[in-house]
Amino acid sequence: MPTYKLTYFNFAGLGEPIRWMLSYLDVPFEDNRIEREQWPTIKSTTPYGQVPVLEVDGKQVCQSTAIARYLGKKAGLAGSNEWEDLMIDTMIDTFNDFRSSISKWFRESDEATKKRLEETLLNETVPFYFNKFNDHIKNNGGYLANGKLSWGDIYFISIPEFMTTIWSDIIDKYEHIKALNDKVVNLPKIKAWIEKRPVPKK
């Protein structure tokens, strides 16, 4: 069995989909959580100045989506054919477009700009995407694609689940996203991870 070491900050963010996939796979992994003050030193040791970085038998790999897809194949959670894989990938890349708006808000240090970004995010970006995702999940048998669980569902849900720590009711209005959330967080291995994971200080 390969050894896995995940390096990311001490919060959910883009580390969490990988932690969920490794938990689903039921493989041991080192959950290397770094604090903000360590980042300048660690940054230059990463392939492209970014985390998460997953070391697989000591080989560094970056990019959370690429890593989740890889682990998804190992877990039997890829599509059954090329078209099914495309259906997962197109949704995840669309979701990542949405996610980039959250990152922009998250990284903004100017208080006034951050407030303005949050308003646009909550009043425009979230409703635009979440209404579409909600309908899409409804039309796909309660899953993100192909009417069945895939790595895409785990990747997708890990982010709104994190968002609820900031905006507690963010998915409540979206019945089918909420139902998918409940399905994913109750997968036994993911439920066990959520129960035992460290709770970062606010």
In the list 15, 24, 75, 85, the residue contacting a copy of itself (rule: CB under 8 A) is: 85
Judged by CB under 8 A, does residue 74 bind a copy of itself?
Answer: yes
Q: Which residues pair with 33 in a beta bridge?
A: 8
Distance CA 50, CA 62 (A): 8
Our CB check for a copy of itself shows the closer of 123 and 165 to be 123
> Which stretch in 19-27, 83-91, 160-168, 174-182 sits in contact with a copy of itself by CB under 8 A?
83-91
Residue 112 CB, nearest approach to a copy of itself (Å) = 18
In degrees and rounded to multiples of 5, residue 45 shows phi and psi of -90, -5
Do residues 49 and 96 lie in contact, with contact meaning Cβ atoms separated by under 8 Å?
A: no
Q: For residue 16, how far is the Cα from the chain centroid?
A: 6
Report DSSP state, residue 133. H
Question: Binding mask 54-73 vs a copy of itself (x if CB under 8 A, - otherwise)?
Answer: -------xxx-xxx-xx--x
In the list 11, 129, 162, 167, the residue contacting a copy of itself (rule: CB under 8 A) is: 129
In the list 3, 45, 50, 120, the residue contacting a copy of itself (rule: CB under 8 A) is: 50
Residues making contact with a copy of itself (CB under 8 A): 47-50, 61-63, 65-67, 69-70, 73-74, 82-83, 85-86, 89-90, 92-94, 97, 100, 128-129, 132
